[in-house]
């Protein structure tokens, strides 16, 4: 597989990023596992776009806002 892949849990915490994701985003080279995607999105356009799209979906469970 040659697609960039990142994994987020239900609280939008990064759980993994494959090598392709790291190649296209220099910020992914940092230690990202366990960090909030929202925190990472401040400095990373790709992650910002991904979570904006996710949060715009009507069925997105907004657990992160109720904790």
pLDDT of residue 34: 84
Q: How many domains does the chain have?
A: 1
pLDDT digits (tens, 9 = 90+) for 10-62: 888 989 888 888 887 766 666 777 888 888 888 888 788 888 888 787 776 65
pLDDT of residue 6: 86
In a domain, residue 64? The reply is no
Among candidates 21, 17, 11, 47, which has minimal Cα distance to 32? 17
In a domain, residue 65? The reply is no
In a domain, residue 31? The reply is yes
In a domain, residue 67? The reply is no
pTM of the model: 0.66
- pLDDT band, residue 67 (cuts 50/70/90): very low
- Specify the 3-state DSSP secondary structure of 13: strand
In a domain, residue 66? The reply is no
Could you identify the residue written with the tokens 């239900």?
Answer: 10
Question: Which residues, other chains included, contact 58 with Cβ-Cβ below 8 Å and sequence gap of 6+?
Answer: none
In a domain, residue 42? The reply is yes
In a domain, residue 38? The reply is yes
In a domain, residue 63? The reply is no
Question: Which range of residues forms the domain containing residue 38?
Answer: 6-58
């Amino acid at each position: 597989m040659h697609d960039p892949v990142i994994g987020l849990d239900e609280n939008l915490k990064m759980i993994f990023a494959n090598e392709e994701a790291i190649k296209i985003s220099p910020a992914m080279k940092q230690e990202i596992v366990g960090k909030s995607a929202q925190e990472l999105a401040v400095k990373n356009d790709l992650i910002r776009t991904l979570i904006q799209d996710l949060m715009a979906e009507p069925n997105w469970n907004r657990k992160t806002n109720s904790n």
